[in-house]
Amino acid sequence: MYQSSYLNKLFEDVKKKYSSEPEFISAVEEFFDSMDYMVDDEPNIEKYAILERILIPERVISFRVAWVDDKGKVQVNKGWRVQFNSAIGPYKGGIRFDSSVNLSILKFLAFEQTFKNSLTGLPLGGGKGGADFTPRGRSDEEIMRFCQAYVSELFRHIGPDTDVPAGDFGVGAREIGYMYGMYKKLSNDFVGTFTGKGISYGGSLGRKEATGYGLLYFVSEMLKTFHNDTLKGKRVIISGSGKVGKHAAVKAHALGAKVVAMSDINGFVYDENGLDVPLIDKLSEPKGEYSLEYMKIYPEAKFVPTPKLMWGMPCDIALPCATQNEIDLEDAMKLKANGCYMLVEGANMPTAVEAIRFCNENGILFAPGKASNAGGVAVSGLEMSQNAMHLSWTYQEVDQKLEQIMKNIFRKCHETAQKYGQPKNLALGANIAGFIKVYDAMLQEGVI
């Protein structure tokens, strides 16, 4: 129950209308927890139906992706692009390829992306896309044909000032390359319509590390502000074997933290003395799996074949970097019982709403992905700027800008949380600060 009767009514509507979209409902519920602090003091929100409008994507494109596998068999997948909100800039957000992808997941991701992109301070609207296709186990040629088939429909809906996709789960440099190649051929334009591109054809240095590094810049700001402390010697646990987790580990290690546990698809490895992060960095190329190989080299480390049990290990800081709904209430309670005092999201919505509420009420400092993992899309924004100017910045220039952006995001979240009398509630700060810019633009742009 919210304090605001307007929000209660809206939320009942959302639950009824989108009963088959549980991830989207969770994202809205989490967002409304914060809106409850401001909505009744801002009559224009209700008067101009800002929330009613913000909850419905401006456009959803849903299409067939037909392609031929290596055995000559015709395969058919479902593809989507959710163009959620363009109040402050062209739609921007990644593409996810995984068998679990459906409209609910893409809507929740695009909804969150809208506020995340707003927080970066860059002119980026919110979008997300994907397909129910899993690249894992497919040959390179199959992946190329799939990407080409996906873009042969998507290309007509995107453009450098319209909608700029990037990578997400299941979509890395290889997939972006194949999609961009087909896009360029069909549109006959060499423009920056995708980000996360290879360096040789317009990508930005520092993009692949950006989400993980940005996450650690954010963690550093949290430690400095709330504990007058640094990462030196902190015990960190990290889930996920993708780009985010790996680069988060590398940066945490570089900043003096002790990464004591990391998980991949097979399970997790734990060593109270700290894992060999450079080795994990090496082993995780190209498939993102490292735990089994790691155990052959360090048999004295502990291996548990169930990734989720990692949240029961002792740590100071937990960084969920895998996927949505990784941490439920029980996991949050285990984290608390084992000494964890900071939970900072590297993935999108890895923490369930009940677990977030538990953190806020029990002294675990929580930061939502829409703030703490915004480094990836921020450097995507920098890639767009470089493409538009037809030049490229050095790695150091990009990294410095990223660090500054992450500090600014933290400051905005913290100041907003303070303004609403909840200085440690960074989710509140992120939601309200992200929302205000979009809201302001929507008011000025009229009812459209």
Q: Is 348 in the site for ligand GLU (CB under 6 A)?
A: yes
In whole angstroms, what is the distance from residue 85 CA to residue 114 CA?
A: 6
Q: Is 376 in the site for ligand GLU (CB under 6 A)?
A: yes
Q: Which stretch binds ligand GLU (CB under 6 A): 86-94, 180-188, 257-265, 275-283?
A: 86-94
Q: Is 81 in the site for ligand GLU (CB under 6 A)?
A: no
Task: From the candidates 92, 116, 128, 370, give the one annotated as an active-site residue.
Answer: 128
In whole angstroms, what is the distance from residue 220 CA to residue 229 CA?
A: 8
CA 9 to chain centre: 29
Q: Is 382 in the site for ligand GLU (CB under 6 A)?
A: no
Task: Say which residue the tokens 């004295």 belong to.
Answer: 300
Q: How far is the CB of 167 from ligand GLU (least distance, A)?
A: 6
User: CB under 8 Å to 372, separation ≥6 — which residues?
Assistant: 214, 215, 218, 219, 344, 345, 346
The 149-168 site mask, x for binding ligand GLU (CB under 6 A), equals -----------------x-x
User: CB under 8 Å to 407, separation ≥6 — which residues?
Assistant: 217, 221
Q: Which stretch binds ligand GLU (CB under 6 A): 298-306, 357-365, 372-380, 388-396?
A: 372-380
Interface residues for ligand GLU in 278-337 (CB under 6 A)? none
In whole angstroms, what is the distance from residue 112 CA to residue 348 CA?
A: 8
Closest CA to 430 of 383, 372, 378: 372
CA 295 to chain centre: 29
Q: How far is the CB of 286 from ligand GLU (least distance, A)?
A: 19
423 prior amide bond cis, ω within 30: no
Structure tokens belonging to residue 94 = 């990644």
Q: How far is the CB of 381 from ligand GLU (least distance, A)?
A: 8
**Out of 92, 197, 234, 258, which residue is the one contacting ligand GLU (CB under 6 A)?**
92
The 168-187 site mask, x for binding ligand GLU (CB under 6 A), equals x-------------------
Q: How far is the CB of 318 from ligand GLU (least distance, A)?
A: 19
128 is catalytic: yes
* CB distance 375 to 213 below 8 Å: yes
Q: Nearer Cβ to ligand GLU, position 164 or 283? A: 164
Q: Which stretch binds ligand GLU (CB under 6 A): 179-187, 376-384, 385-393, 432-440?
A: 376-384
Q: Is 130 in the site for ligand GLU (CB under 6 A)?
A: no
In whole angstroms, what is the distance from residue 107 CA to residue 113 CA?
A: 10
In whole angstroms, what is the distance from residue 166 CA to residue 94 CA?
A: 4
At residue 26, the 3 state secondary structure works out as helix
Q: How far is the CB of 395 from ligand GLU (least distance, A)?
A: 18
Note the residue count of the chain.
448
Q: Nearer Cβ to ligand GLU, position 77 or 323? A: 323
Which positions are catalytic? 128
Residues near ligand GLU (CB under 6 A): 92-94, 166, 168, 195, 348, 376-377, 380
